[in-house]
Amino acid sequence: MHKNEQPKSIIVIFGATGDLAKRKLYPSLFHLFQKGHISEQFAVVGIGRREWSDETLRTQVRDSIKNEIEGEHTKLEEFCNQFYYKALNVTSKQSYTELKTLLDQLDSRYHIGGNRVFYMAMAPEFFGTIASYLKSEQLTDTEGWTRLVIEKPFGHDLESAETLNTEIREAFREDEIYRIDHYLGKEMVQNIQVIRFANAVFEPLWNNQHIANVQITSSERLGVEDRGGYYENSGALRDMVQNHLLQMVTLLAMDPPLRLTTEEIRSEKIKVLRALRPIVEQKVKDSFVRAQYGQGVYDGEKVQGYLKEKNVAPDSKTETFVAGKLLIDNYRWAGVPFYIRTGKRMAAKSTKIVIEFKPQPHNLYLNNGDDPGANLLVIHIQPDEGMSLMLNGKKIGTTGDTSSVNLHYSQHGIDGINTPEAYERLLFDCMIGDATNFAHWDEVNLSWTYIDAISEAWEGDKDSLPSYSSGSMGPKEAEDLLLKDGFHWWPIEKM
């Protein structure tokens, strides 16, 4: 973080009574305040329909911070006292006049200078309406800057994303729009570029001459919980692949940017998305697998399958697991498969990237007939943060055998630090006007183009959906996807 800057702003949270605000936004803002990363000249205005008072919101904020953050809560009262609540229905134009009056008053009280972040922590169908009323009712008409933070999902497909984009672009310029993807705020996702571009040992090997395949897994232990209503219209493809997984693919595959500026980095990421080989509808089955979790056992306890979850149709064909093979048609990556995998109710909560290097051209070592193990670079995104390099060394006591050596760096173990939470970092970036770790419209557009072909093929597919046991790493079909290329998933749950 740029520790020297202490941005000052009013932060308006649409959806202040909701889950995201409670679990992520309030704790992240508190951390920023406690660490002195944001100015004390700030105010938060929460919006919801519930008839809460300022005091009710402050109590909720206090409770959420105590629940989510362990340890000292110094400065909590000062922090909470700068929260204000306005009950309104975002579809009612008149209420924006009252909101404007409140924002203007707070602006003078805290000497904020007109800076405003409008955070849309609500269902996406409201985003366009809110943006247009903010503009028409002159809430963006200030002497400072105004920025709009938009939660995912950004649309449901390319067409709806375009409509939404047109609506918000009528009110905000592209450089005022911050499309949040919280994976881009994760410490080790941000570290991908540094690992690649700051190490002379990796970049020369980072291509199809030396890399056999790349595997990205983001597995969760949780099921859909109480988000069945949302998830039924989304599924794992739209919920995770269209955004978080494709973003990680772009960071792994992009060419070095000319400079570390937002524009240069985005431009390289966009080139990767443009080079993705489109999936032809009839061929989706060859490179994408979907499945749904069935019942299973977790920590000795039986858990129910997806079809028994709240707000899920009893005959739902919504996928809770996706595995896919992506090909990038450019000089660097021709012929190198990027395998991705994500799912709910899997064996482990883990996000890891495995880069598998090609074998030596000739094997000098006997190993009873086996080749030495593959060299792997593993980037541990979460829950542990770090990286490991799997090499081969001499097997002790032998002359011609090798054994695997794991050089492991754990950010937690060595530094003993607690890295900032993704939302904390991204909120701060937004307040200082750094959009590097937010998605540009061109990235959203290209990723939907890629995803739409897959979802359309699945919608027309009458075959039954494969199932996987809760607590497993997915269905057999996902294993087969790699086996037919002569690879296998590395067991990230054990790495």
Ligand X SMILES: NC(=O)C1=CN([C@@H]2O[C@H](COP(=O)(O)OP(=O)(O)OC[C@H]3O[C@@H](n4cnc5c(N)ncnc54)[C@H](OP(=O)(O)O)[C@@H]3O)[C@@H](O)[C@H]2O)C=CC1
- At its nearest, how many Å lie between ligand LXAUTJHC and the CB of residue 351? 6
- At its nearest, how many Å lie between ligand LXAUTJHC and the CB of residue 236? 8
48 binds, among ligand X, ligand LXAUTJHC, none (CB under 5 to 8 A by kind): ligand X
175 is in an annotated binding site: no
Judged by CB under 6 A, does residue 98 bind ligand X?
no
Tell me the DSSP string of 402-461.
EEEEEEEEEHHHHH---PPPHHHHHHHHHHHT--TTSB-HHHHHHHHHHHHHHHHHHHT-
Measured from the Cβ of residue 329, the count of other Cβ atoms closer than 10 Å reads 12
Q: How far apart are CA 488 and CA 122, in angstroms?
A: 40
Q: How far is the CA of 445 from the CAs of 270, 271, 441, in angstroms?
A: 10, 13, 6
Q: 31, 37, 244, 440: which is the annotated catalytic residue?
A: 244
3-class SS of residue 127: helix
239 binds, among ligand X, ligand LXAUTJHC, none (CB under 5 to 8 A by kind): ligand LXAUTJHC
440 binds, among ligand X, ligand LXAUTJHC, none (CB under 5 to 8 A by kind): none
- At its nearest, how many Å lie between ligand LXAUTJHC and the CB of residue 199? 26
Site string for ligand X, 115-154 (x = CB under 6 A): ------xxxx--------------------------xxx-
State which of positions 46-65 bind ligand X (CB under 6 A).
47-50
- At its nearest, how many Å lie between ligand LXAUTJHC and the CB of residue 395? 38
Dig out the tokens for 13 from the structure. 């949270």
What residues are paired with 85 via a beta bridge? 46
Judged by CB under 6 A, does residue 239 bind ligand LXAUTJHC?
yes
Site string for ligand X, 221-260 (x = CB under 6 A): ----------------------------------------
Judged by CB under 6 A, does residue 309 bind ligand LXAUTJHC?
no
Judged by CB under 6 A, does residue 452 bind ligand LXAUTJHC?
no
Supply φ then ψ for residue 416, to 5 degrees: 60, 30
Beta pairing class for 288-298 and 467-470: parallel
The only residue of 151, 220, 421, 434 in contact with ligand LXAUTJHC, by rule CB under 6 A:
220
Q: How far apart are CA 82 and CA 42, in angstroms?
A: 7
3-class SS of residue 389: strand
The only residue of 15, 235, 305, 420 in contact with ligand X, by rule CB under 6 A:
15
89 binds, among ligand X, ligand LXAUTJHC, none (CB under 5 to 8 A by kind): ligand X
Site string for ligand LXAUTJHC, 165-194 (x = CB under 6 A): -----------------x------------
Q: How far apart are CA 79 and CA 59, in angstroms?
A: 12
109 binds, among ligand X, ligand LXAUTJHC, none (CB under 5 to 8 A by kind): none
Judged by CB under 6 A, does residue 319 bind ligand LXAUTJHC?
no
49 binds, among ligand LXAUTJHC, ligand X, none (CB under 5 to 8 A by kind): ligand X
Cβ atoms 155, 413 nearer than 8 A:
no
- At its nearest, how many Å lie between ligand LXAUTJHC and the CB of residue 310? 15
3-class SS of residue 350: strand
- At its nearest, how many Å lie between ligand LXAUTJHC and the CB of residue 411? 16
The amino acid at 429:
D
- At its nearest, how many Å lie between ligand X and the CB of residue 303? 20
Measured from the Cβ of residue 445, the count of other Cβ atoms closer than 10 Å reads 18
E strands, 59-144, where?
Answer: 83-87, 116-120
3-class SS of residue 489: coil
CB-nearer residue toward ligand LXAUTJHC: 239 or 385:
239
3-class SS of residue 362: coil
Tell me the DSSP string of 159-199.
HHHHHHHHHHHHHS-GGGEEE--GGGGSHHHHHHHHHHHS-
Q: Residue 169: exposed, middle, or buried by beta-carbon count in 10 A (0-12, 13-18, 19+)?
A: middle
Q: How far apart are CA 238 and CA 320, in angstroms?
A: 10
46 is in an annotated binding site: no
Judged by CB under 6 A, does residue 342 bind ligand X?
no
Identify whether 244 is a catalytic site residue: yes
Judged by CB under 6 A, does residue 107 bind ligand LXAUTJHC?
no
492 binds, among ligand X, ligand LXAUTJHC, none (CB under 5 to 8 A by kind): none
Footprint of ligand LXAUTJHC on this chain (CB under 6 A)? 182, 220, 239, 351
